[in-house]
Amino acid sequence: MRRHNRTVLIRRLHIGGPCTRASLAAELGLNRSTIKALVDGLAEAGVVEERVPRQRSGAGRPSLLVLPQAHAAVVLAVDVRVEQVAIALVGLGGEILGRNSWNLRVRTREPAEVITHVVDSAIVLAADLGVRMVAAGISVPGVVRRSDGLVHEAPNLHWTDVPLGERLGAVFDVPIRVGNDAELGALAEHLRGTARGSSDAVYVTADVGVGGGVISDGSALRGTAGYLGELGHMVINPGGRSCYCGSRGCWETEVGERSLCRALGLREGAPRGAVVAELRALADHPDLVRSRLGEFTEWLTIGLVNVVNVLGPELVVLGDLFTALPGSLIADVAAAVRDRSLVSRASGGTRIVASTLGADVTLLGAAELAFEPVLDSV
């Protein structure tokens, strides 16, 4: 029981941040003496620190503020993307203590190269920061088997059946977890972003590929054997372009980065910076957005109608490249989805918003994946 309460308390501080003893007691439904005993134990173990809060409320002795200590548990988070790898060491409470990233070119996208580079960078970063990591979480843009971290297929990286979890586990003697990028984006949004407090939310991410992560009734959907959420491979335009997945006219082929480049008159594979700059230039011109991105807007709408009708979220968070879309386009899409989705109308209107966690969303999700198995042994 005490062990259980201790884990609940650590999880609360890790996700919710600093909190007074009094508020912790109220939130967790524990009495003050139980909280005191737990916090004293955690302080002694160096997991939390206590401080007199700066702003005192009311008269009497102020309730002490309990702060999680980042160095009490540090995990490695890795975000493998098609064109870049980022790693970070993330402390208890979610603070990024240090980070490193490098671009991938076709040659350096080989799994063995990527793994070696991740290992070397992580060792150097941990030594620089003087920390020891207790777990690692890795995000990959592909279909991943959660049980052992096998990357079954990461098409845009050209990876097939890469035993990523096993390889990293052989080097680092800590729990290693591998997840799909969109799934981890959803986890980060649910724990630390716009979808916090929302029990039914979908996170849709666009890079070269398009993917989705689903929170249903407060938990991540997994699918059989952990395979789920290839939202980018819903067929929405059966007469459209061939997709590597075996279908034609997938959502990804209509609204992924390459399609957006075409719509903007850029060459496919233009640098991300150029795409974003072009979108920014349009931001203040809703009419131009409608004329140049009208078709793109329609495909984004159709895919989101499907997502809302099938999964029934109250909130859809658009991430990564989609966060650069003009606000007027997102507003148009949100209005059209409300008009054209039975489920949105029934549930009072699904909210559709851009992510506010920025470029770190997947990295933060990978960190939370890593924290999951270790929070109860901090």
Are 135 and 175 in contact by the 8 Å Cβ rule? The answer is: yes
d(CA 18, CA 20): 7
Residue selected from 290, 312, 354, 372 as contacting a second copy according to rule CB under 8 A: 312
Total residues binding a second copy (CB under 8 A):
51
Residue selected from 11, 222, 272, 292 as contacting a second copy according to rule CB under 8 A: 222
- In which region does residue 208 sit, left (phi positive, over 0), alpha (psi from -120 to 50) or beta (all else)? alpha
Query: DSSP string of 63-114?
Result: PPEEEE-GGGSEEEEEEE-SSEEEEEEEETTS-EEEEEEEE--TGGGSHHHH
First to last CA, the chain: 16
Contact letters for a second copy, residues 140-179 (x by CB under 8 A): ---x-x------xx-x------------------------
Q: Which stretch binds a second copy (CB under 8 A): 53-61, 99-107, 257-265, 307-315?
A: 307-315
The verdict on 116 binding a second copy (CB under 8 A) reads: no
d(CA 323, CA 87): 22
The verdict on 313 binding a second copy (CB under 8 A) reads: yes
Which burial class, exposed, middle or buried, applies to 153 when counting CB atoms under 10 A from its CB (0-12, 13-18, 19+)?
Answer: middle
Residue selected from 5, 7, 34, 347 as contacting a second copy according to rule CB under 8 A: 347
The verdict on 197 binding a second copy (CB under 8 A) reads: no
The verdict on 216 binding a second copy (CB under 8 A) reads: yes
233 DSSP 8-state letter: G
The nearer residue to a second copy, 121 or 253, going by C-beta atoms, is: 253
Residue selected from 346, 358, 376, 377 as contacting a second copy according to rule CB under 8 A: 346
Residue selected from 14, 81, 109, 233 as contacting a second copy according to rule CB under 8 A: 233
- Residues across the chain: 378
Q: How many other C-beta atoms can be found within 10 angstroms of the C-beta atom of residue 52?
A: 10
Quote the least distance from Cβ 3 to a second copy, whole Å.
Answer: 21
Summarize as ranges the residues that interact with a second copy (CB under 8 A).
Answer: 143, 145, 152-153, 155, 199-200, 212, 216-217, 221-225, 227-231, 233-239, 245-247, 298, 302, 305-307, 309-314, 339-343, 345-348, 350
